[in-house]
Chain A
Amino acid sequence: MGSRASSLLREEDIEEIKRETGFSHSQITRLYSRFHSLDKGENGALSREDFQRIPELAINPLGDRIINAFFPEGEDQVNFRGFMRTLAHFRPVEDNEKNKNLTSGEPLNSRANKLLFAFRLYDLDRDDKISRDELLQVLRMMVGVNISDEQLGSIADRTIQEADTNGDMCISFSEFTKVLEKVDVEQKMSIRFLH
């Protein structure tokens, strides 16, 4: 199962991905076979349609946003490196890493980077602020069609009122972080990549 796919993946690539993302060898090969199975066009890169074929994403209210998060600015294809880079955000935080001094700066799966990833999913226009409209869009996606605009608007207002500290009626990244300081983000935003 994995051996045919992993033959397309060179050892140097695996080493580089390991260094960049922190995944182990077996995890990388396993995810490569998943990447390969999603890649119907067999061209070594995934397009949006490939993602949309995944049933869980189709029924997920945030499906489109998640798909967009994989694709870097303006591009339509994502290669394996990019795929792994996005997934690296969801690696569990390991204890021994907290003390390790990585030369490449903060690891991708640190708490701050996880929160930044989530923040960017809200903040579509990348202005580093979640405006009321952006919040309303997300709420509408999560809540469905039965709730009226006014009700949703009041929820959005209340949310912004709670989080906003500098009075600009938007949620900046620091305010976002502060609001979630009691939530165990390390656990909530981690997936166990089993062998």
Chain B
Amino acid sequence: MRMRMMKMLLLLGLCCGPVCCGQNQSDPRDQRVFPVLSVNYDYVQMPFEVSLWILLASLLKLGFHLLPRLSAVVPESCLLIVVGLLVGGLIRVMGKKPPVLDSQLFFLCLLPPIILDAGYFLPLRPFTENAGTILSFAVLGTLWNTFFTGALLYACRPAALELLPCLLFGSIVSAVDPVAVLAVFEEIHINELLHILVFGESLLNDAVTVVLYHLFEEFAHAGEVTAGDVFLGVVCFFVVALGGVLVGGVYGVLAAFTSRFTSHTRVIEPLFVFLYSYMAYLSAEVFHLSGIMALIACGVIMRPYVEANISHKSYTTIKYFLKMWSSVSETLIFVFLGVSTVAGPHAWNWTFVTITIVLCLLSRVLGVVGLTFIINKYRMVKLSGKDQFIVAYGGLRGAIAFSLAFLLSSDDFPMKDMFLTAIITVIFFTVFVQGMTIRPLVDLLAVKKRKESKCSINEEIHTQFLEHLLAGIEGVCGHYGHHHWRDKLNRFNKRYIKRCLIGGERSQEPQLVSFYNKMELKQALMLLESNSSANLSTAVTAAAPRQRSLKTLNISKEREEEIRKILRANLQKTQQRLRSYSRHTLMPDAEDDWSETLLKKQQEEMERRMSNFLTVPAAPARRLESGERLRSGSFFFSERSAGEVNARRKPSVKFSLEPPKPPRGPEHLLEEDEELMHRRH
């Protein structure tokens, strides 16, 4: 069929050719032949080149992971810069001018995905517990770095620089860069505390950097600095930081509120998350507020509510899109850094560059040590020398510094090229030297690594228990501390905010129960995917690996196979239905059909029948319940539906069904389990 059509088209084309030619030949002046195949590159040039760059970046990422030896020694960021250098060199050799990392492109397109990814998945508990430390490193540390570097540069007078350009340079070069930190720290897996300290600092110092940058730029323009200007600068800092957070918060609340109503249009749920966040960033940038803080605030605020409202599929989509975009952005940033190095106009000044590098390192070390000395007086878990070393050593500079320098106008700052060269050198130094050596140093100093923790319902329960306990004890002491305010915030959240922003029943669901449900869901999907040949009951307890002789069930192999087949068939049907495909609707989610009355009726019927068959004594019933429930194949629905069925006669086995399936399925399951029950007694 297709072949025939193609042949016909080809024939038509061929016919048109001579026909048009024939027509043209009648006009002797116009001798052009109708072009069957022509090239029009200009039409697609822009998108084509963009896609080519992104493709290159992605292929590079692919390539690095095929060379495990290399990626174990050299962090990815270094390799990408090297590739960028090569590509830049190649373009230069070909005679064209290599593209420079355009600041607008960087700040508006490449940076937001990375920051949103970081902000949305920010581990909130360690962040808030260390908020004081992080803020002091971000604000005070950056201020110290700026003034120390700027003042000493001025004192050394490497190129007859004035004070203000020195300070401006100091402010650009002293900011720890989140992209570089993420890129390097991702691979070394240090413990959560250090990770959140350095990473949190790199995010929050944006406010300081923005203010200082604009401040010094304005002053350099104006030429004169008064005390009033300095005071305004301080006020500006608060406006920028708090304004950014406010803007982000507003958009976050809007996003959460919107997600409340998306239960009928699940397809576009992720889009709301992305759009609101991006709008928050752009709105903050309009007013010269801190866009990064806006983005973080938006992500942090909207996350708990959005996650309660959206479907599981949308959650997965958001997660993977964010990871994908941030990954591509990061790759592109480093590649472009390399290319820009080859491209940009350079003004190499040995003294300036060496002094800069030395001063950066020195100011960082002094700043961290000094601040930690003060902070440790207020911390409960003190930062040890090792921790301080890692925090100091992890202060990497990156593309933000480069872009900020690039934005400087050459008229006001004739030494812009020298600045750029110095900044590139500093970036290279930190990323290559510090980035490559941090991993062996971490191993050498035996810094605590991140503990691979599975989510544990025990930890969650006990942590919440301890939080309540501590809030109470603080009440007894009359001490309004950390726990007291957190408790108050939680209560406020539960009473007022959750009601507004979370739709439907989920607004009343306590955190513990939603955590438990998520865990069960994860385990159910894991069980399905593992497809192991182990005994069903041992597969269930694979999550808690201990010998459970009490729980092993004596099922014959065929029976086991049958059960597994049924489970798989029914669960797979949820995932693979492609009967009708429409761009605008997804197949109804398993979770969406909760309030179906049909389901309720079937459940009640099922339970009635089950309780008739069972005469399970009290003690073993408990063992049975959890085991049976998990084995019933619909375990990840059991908790929700159990809550809905108000039968108070204490049925000894909880059952729940999957959403509208061919009625055969559940009955079969029921029969299987009935027989299992009988076999036990």
- Spell out A's residues near B (CB within 8 Å): 31, 34, 37-38, 51, 54-57, 59-63, 66, 70, 87, 90, 92, 95, 118, 121-122, 132, 138-139, 142-144, 146-151, 153-155, 157-159, 161-163, 165, 167, 169, 176, 179-180, 182-194
A147 to B643, CA, bound (A): 7
Beta-carbon contact of B465 and A167 below 8 Å? no
Residues 623-640 of chain B: 1 if any A CB is under 8 Å from the residue's CB, otherwise 0? 101100100000000110
Given A56-B474, A90-B473: A183 and B462 interface contact (C-beta under 8 Å): yes
Closest CB-CB distance, A103 to chain B, in whole Å? 25
Closest CB-CB distance, B654 to chain A, in whole Å? 6
A148 to B643, CA, bound (A): 5
Residues 454-467 of chain B: 1 if any A CB is under 8 Å from the residue's CB, otherwise 0? 00111101111111
Contact of A143 among B466, B472, B512, B654 (CB under 8 A): B512
Beta-carbon contact of B622 and A147 below 8 Å? no
7 of the cross-chain contacts (CB-CB < 8 Å) are: A37-B478, A66-B469, A66-B473, A87-B473, A87-B476, A150-B654, A169-B623
Apart from A87-B477, A179-B458, A191-B477, list 11 A-B contacts with CB within 8 A: A62-B472, A90-B470, A142-B510, A151-B513, A154-B626, A155-B513, A158-B516, A169-B622, A186-B381, A192-B378, A194-B479
A153 to B643, CA, bound (A): 11
Given A54-B475, A63-B472: A147 and B513 interface contact (C-beta under 8 Å): yes
A132 to B619, CA, bound (A): 11
Contact of B129 among A144, A180, A183, A187 (CB under 8 A): A187
B642 within 8 A of A: yes
Beta-carbon contact of A162 and B456 below 8 Å? yes
Beta-carbon contact of B625 and A62 below 8 Å? no
B681: chain A residues within 8 A (beta carbon)? none
A67 to B147, CA, bound (A): 53
- Point out which of A143, A150, A165, A190 has the most chain B C-beta atoms below 10 A from its C-beta: A150
Closest CB-CB distance, B178 to chain A, in whole Å? 25
Contact of B625 among A57, A70, A157, A192 (CB under 8 A): A157
Q: Closest 8 interchain pairs by CB?
A: A56-B475, A157-B626, A66-B472, A179-B458, A60-B472, A150-B642, A92-B380, A62-B468
Beta-carbon contact of B453 and A182 below 8 Å? yes
A122 to B468, CA, bound (A): 13
A153: chain B residues within 8 A (beta carbon)? 625
Beta-carbon contact of A155 and B380 below 8 Å? no
Closest CB-CB distance, A49 to chain B, in whole Å? 14
A158 to B382, CA, bound (A): 36
B468: chain A residues within 8 A (beta carbon)? 60-62, 142
B153 within 8 A of A: no
Beta-carbon contact of B129 and A118 below 8 Å? no
Closest CB-CB distance, A22 to chain B, in whole Å? 15
A57: chain B residues within 8 A (beta carbon)? 472, 475-476
Beta-carbon contact of B461 and A159 below 8 Å? yes
B370 within 8 A of A: no
A150 to B639, CA, bound (A): 8
B544 within 8 A of A: yes
A189: chain B residues within 8 A (beta carbon)? 466, 469-470
Beta-carbon contact of A154 and B629 below 8 Å? yes
A63: chain B residues within 8 A (beta carbon)? 472
A162: chain B residues within 8 A (beta carbon)? 456-458, 543-544
The B interface, classified by DSSP as helix, strand, loop or mixed, is helix
Contacting A at CB under 8 A, from B461-515, are: 461-479, 481-484, 487, 491, 508-510, 512-513
A121: chain B residues within 8 A (beta carbon)? 465, 469
Closest residue of chain A to B519 (Cβ to Cβ) is A158
Contact of B477 among A122, A159, A186, A193 (CB under 8 A): A193
B4 within 8 A of A: no
Beta-carbon contact of B508 and A118 below 8 Å? no
Contact of B464 among A90, A142, A182, A184 (CB under 8 A): A142
A158: chain B residues within 8 A (beta carbon)? 457, 516, 519-520, 626
Closest CB-CB distance, B255 to chain A, in whole Å? 26
B463: chain A residues within 8 A (beta carbon)? 183, 188
A182 to B458, CA, bound (A): 11
Closest residue of chain B to A54 (Cβ to Cβ) is B475
Closest CB-CB distance, B448 to chain A, in whole Å? 11
Residues 358-387 of chain B: 1 if any A CB is under 8 Å from the residue's CB, otherwise 0? 000000000000000000001011100000
Closest CB-CB distance, A39 to chain B, in whole Å? 13
Contact of A62 among B378, B381, B469, B654 (CB under 8 A): B469
B577 within 8 A of A: no
Closest residue of chain A to B625 (Cβ to Cβ) is A157
B451 within 8 A of A: yes
Closest residue of chain B to A70 (Cβ to Cβ) is B476
B381: chain A residues within 8 A (beta carbon)? 184, 186-187
Beta-carbon contact of A66 and B476 below 8 Å? yes
Closest CB-CB distance, B617 to chain A, in whole Å? 15
Beta-carbon contact of A138 and B472 below 8 Å? no
Residues 425-464 of chain B: 1 if any A CB is under 8 Å from the residue's CB, otherwise 0? 0000000000000000000000000010100111101111
A59 to B492, CA, bound (A): 13
B550 within 8 A of A: yes
B584 within 8 A of A: no
Closest CB-CB distance, A57 to chain B, in whole Å? 5
Closest residue of chain A to B488 (Cβ to Cβ) is A56
